[in-house]
Amino acid sequence: MYRIGLGVYAIGRLAGAEADALSAHLNGCPPCRAELAELRTVAELLAHSVRAPGPARKGAGRGPRTGASRLGLSGACAYGARGPGRSR
């Protein structure tokens, strides 16, 4: 139940009661703490690899990417560090 929120929690975007519940869960769940550590490492690496914003590129009718997709975090948030449907 809590695995889905780990990616969002790792980048500091989980708020309110959900963040509180996940934080309480992490106190007693070593596997989730380990996965959170992996996700935070990935998020930090991705944050350092993003190019500085510049003018929007033209092509294929797409505008500049924003939010988690700009950071490349959407896959990590959706699937966790181990991939879709995988758990420890």
Q: What is the pLDDT along the chain (88 residues), one digit of tens a residue?
A: 778 889 999 998 999 999 999 999 999 999 999 999 999 999 888 888 876 666 655 555 555 555 545 445 444 444 444 444 444 4
- Whether residue 85 lies inside any domain: the answer is no
Three-class secondary structure of residue 61 per DSSP: coil
CB atoms within 10 A of CB 72: 16
- Whether residue 60 lies inside any domain: the answer is no
User: How much is the pLDDT for 56?
Assistant: 58
Range of the domain at 43: 3-51+65-79
- Whether residue 7 lies inside any domain: the answer is yes
User: How much is the pLDDT for 20?
Assistant: 94
The residue with tokens 């992490």 is 26
- Whether residue 46 lies inside any domain: the answer is yes
pTM above 0.85, yes or no: no
- Counting the structural domains of the chain, the total is 1
User: How much is the pLDDT for 74?
Assistant: 47
How large is the angle between the packed helices 3-10 and 16-27, nearest 10 degrees? 110
User: How much is the pLDDT for 88?
Assistant: 41
- Whether residue 56 lies inside any domain: the answer is no
User: How much is the pLDDT for 52?
Assistant: 63
